[in-house]
Amino acid sequence: MLKRIEELIGNDCPDLPGLLDGLPMGVALLDDSGRILMLNKALEALTGYSREEARGLPCRHVLRSQACVQGCPHGREDLPGTGIETDCINRHRRKIPVRITPVRVTDGNNQPVCVLDVVEDLTALREIEARLSQATGQGQIVGRSPAMEKLLRLVPVIAQHDSPLLITGETGTGKDLLAESVHKASPRSREPFVRFSCGPMPPELLDAELFGRVQGGTGELKPGRFQQAQGGTLYLSEIADLPLSQQSSLVRFLDEGVVLPVGAGKTVRVNARLMASTAESPEKLVRDGRLREDLFHRISAIRLHLPRLKERGEDLGFLLHHYLSHYAARFKKNITGISPKALRLVCNHDFPGNVRELKNIMEFAAMVCIGDKIQIEHLPGHLPGLLEAQAPPATGRKSSRKNAEER
């Protein structure tokens, strides 16, 4: 068998080594006993072994993967059709996450000739996942509804580009968290994420806050938010609250990559990705003259929309228990759940403040709860129907028993 494969590589298919070397993922060519016949260049770089050193060695001595001792597939008649996600230890004792996909090669008579182990380096993917999970608990946007799952799948893709991003959605839907999640999943994640709320402010002070100011006399530049975000991301919350003159400066930045500090005679180049958000419809803001149309078209190169909490289906119950668990742990309380009556009252609420309001309700309830379950009296007083729900129960043994069960 070994001689037959050597003839296949050396004579019948002289370009096979060059073909395998041209692949971007690692490939090991194995005989029927699992010994290495050849490594391509990508796998040489991954493992640290040259093809001459690896030739003739059992593959487990080179890949050194957990799969080698936990369910190695090479002894099976039918190799798995999908890859195995595991890790390998290279020659320099570095642990590398990989996906190994064994592929059996047969001849024209469907007889086995050799096995190709395709080894994909998952390091870049794991780094993206790690950056996404850096903001845990209250700092991470979460959801299980189809709309949110679709949106969250876009985050790692959008994060790899520097195009401007516009996030829309009602107040409290998580626009700030989404912007930060995109930043943390991006190649800019090691650089600053600068957040600026575009509230009312005197124009000159606003210019200085955004674009910086040259100090009189010394000529020293006091950096603004753009300079602070150098290399990273600048996120402008409620961008339509910016006066039109500052909006025109944003257009210039998006076109030329420069800003003009207050008191400066020349522009300053800034390398920062611009993200913005608005709770109102940007098309309506343009029609009302509150958002420049040219800015809207530039800032919405990529656009994401966060739906209302009541439009997110099962996310309401999921987030309720998510925040309840978080605040129970934070306040060091043994709260195991919420009573059916309290749960109905919360779920019937319209949530004009969306996820932020739900979070605040669960924080308050966990704070004042003295038992192991959130009861209706632990909910904040602004919830509609709370006073009626807290009314004394009807007299009678049957009503008392029913009320006790509901609690």
- Domain boundaries in the chain? 2-121, 128-307, 311-394
Q: 166-222, pLDDT tens digit by residue?
A: 999 999 999 999 999 999 999 999 899 999 998 888 888 999 999 999 987 677 889
Burial call 28-54: b when 16+ CB within 10 Å, e when fewer: bbbbeebbbbbbbbbbbebbebebeeb
Among candidate residues 145, 144, 141, 196, the one with its CA nearest the CA of residue 173:
141
User: 128-307: which CATH topology?
Assistant: Rossmann fold (3.40.50)
The correct CATH number of 311-394 out of 3.20.20.410, 1.10.8.60, 1.10.1530.10, 3.30.830.10 is 1.10.8.60
8-state DSSP, 12: I
Average pLDDT score, the chain: 84
Q: 101-126, pLDDT tens digit by residue?
A: 888 777 667 766 778 888 888 887 77
Structure tokens at 407: 């609690």
Please report where in the chains the tokens 């041209």 appear, as a residue.
22
Tell me whether domains 128-307 and 311-394 share a fold.
no
Instruction: Reply yes or no on whether the pLDDT at 134 is more than 50.
Output: no
Among candidate residues 240, 314, 251, the one with its CA nearest the CA of residue 279:
240
β partners of residue 89: 95
How many C-alpha atoms does 177 have within 13 Å on its Cβ side?
A: 21
- Judged on CB neighbours under 10 Å (0-12, 13-18, 19+), 89 is middle
Architecture of domain 2-121: 2-Layer Sandwich (3.30)
Among candidate residues 74, 78, 76, 82, the one with its CA nearest the CA of residue 58:
74
Q: What pLDDT shows up at residue 1?
A: 46
0.85 cut: is pTM over it?
no
